[in-house]
Amino acid sequence: SSSNNIGDNRNNNEEHGTNVDVSNSRCWLMLGRLVLVVATDLALGLLLLYYLFTLLSVDGLYHIFGDSTKHVSSRVLELLEWLRGAPAGLKLNQPLTRALASFFSYHVGLWTLYLEVAGGAVYGLCCALVWCGLLGASVQVALLSDMLHVATLHLHCLYVYAARLHMVQVSLLGSQWRAFRGRKWNPLKQRVDSLSSSGVAGTSQPLSRVLTAVIFTLVVFLLPTTTVYYLVFLSLRVLLSLLRWLLFAITWMIHHNPLYILLMHVAGATKLKGEVHLSSCDNDASKNTDELPRQPLQLQLSIRSCSLVESLCLTAARLPLTPNITVPRISHLLDTVLYARQLL
């Protein structure tokens, strides 16, 4: 029994030593990958810093940012002037489209004036964008995304104004249509109920029908004008969102580059192993099964080296998506695009 205990302890020690070796190997792989990612990030940041100092300067970057914001503002003003008339041959409500174009144009001009007044802060952001190359290229890309937010904040405000106006008109259109049919929405029970015989707000039912018909007609004729503005600013919002997602994808690629796996394969490292294969050992004694008694099955264990494609696939499978892509529901898309109940 003592010999059996000694054998069990020896097996446990060997198994524990194997687990420790596997965990240490995994830790060294993760540490090496982390060091290489940081080194790559710093190298790219230094290259961008050298490029900005060689071909550009802080003053040149500041002038590029100012010219870009002025160009975007002038293009938006031209777009508003186009919407003020008859865009694509559409016959819009002229008083409403003039009022909306004037309101949005005033907001764009106000934002341009604000950027000119805050020139010192913008110059500081440009300096930070250049010198952040010492911290890595991912920091520069993140700061560039923040500067994009600053430069296009007025476009986001215009989208919010147009979306809220569109949402109010669509909600008013639905409520007046229900009231015209003698229905109302009950927010407590989350259902459509019938109106009382006294009508809406204590008025008579015929007068209530006339008022709802008038309001419904006004909203129907004004809705195309606000919808055109909403669709235009929604398109701009989608383009800006795609640009920001592109910058985020660049940062993700810097942090999750497969350079470490490539170097491990080029160096022929033995730490990257693939699947385990078991094969039977064929010998002469096992072939003569009639002459000799049945022998125990002997298996040979072999570990196959992992190919480059398999290593990249396994690494990509363990990484998060770019960036946490979730498929939106149809109801969410309808609320966001058609009814503007949720903002992008």
With cut-offs at 50, 70 and 90, classify the pLDDT of residue 243.
very high
Share above pLDDT 70 across residues of the chain, in percent, rounded to a whole number: 73
Assigned domain for 318 exists: no
The mean per-residue pLDDT over the stretch 127-147 comes to 91
pLDDT tens profile 249-293: 899 888 888 777 777 766 666 666 666 667 777 655 455 555 555
Provide the pLDDT for residue 104: 94
- The amino acid occupying position 31 is L
**Torsional sign, CA 121, 124, 126, 129:** negative
Q: What is the pLDDT of residues 83-99, one digit of tens each?
A: 988 887 888 889 999 99
Task: Indicate whether 326 belongs to any domain.
Answer: no
Within a domain: 217? yes
Residue 273 lies in a domain: no
Mean pLDDT estimate for the chain: 79
202 dihedral zone (left: phi>0; alpha: psi -120 to 50; beta): left
pLDDT over 60 at 300, yes or no = yes
Tell me the whole-structure pTM to 2 decimals: 0.75
How many domains are contained in the chain?
1
Print the domain residue range for 188: 38-262
**Cα 29 to Cα 318: distance, rounded to the nearest angstrom:** 14
CB atoms within 10 A of CB 69: 20
Residue 311: inside a domain: no
Helices assigned H by DSSP within the chain: 2-55, 58-84, 94-117, 119-131, 137-151, 153-180, 205-255, 259-267, 284-287, 308-318, 330-333
Q: How confident is the model at residue 314 (pLDDT cuts 50, 70, 90)?
A: low
User: What does the block give as tokens for 27?
Assistant: 């830790």
Instruction: Report yes or no on 316 lying in a domain.
Output: no
Task: Please report whether residue 202 resides in a domain.
Answer: yes
| 332 — pLDDT class (breaks 50, 70, 90) | confident
pLDDT digits (tens, 9 = 90+) for 164-186: 999 999 988 888 888 777 777 77
331 inside domain: no
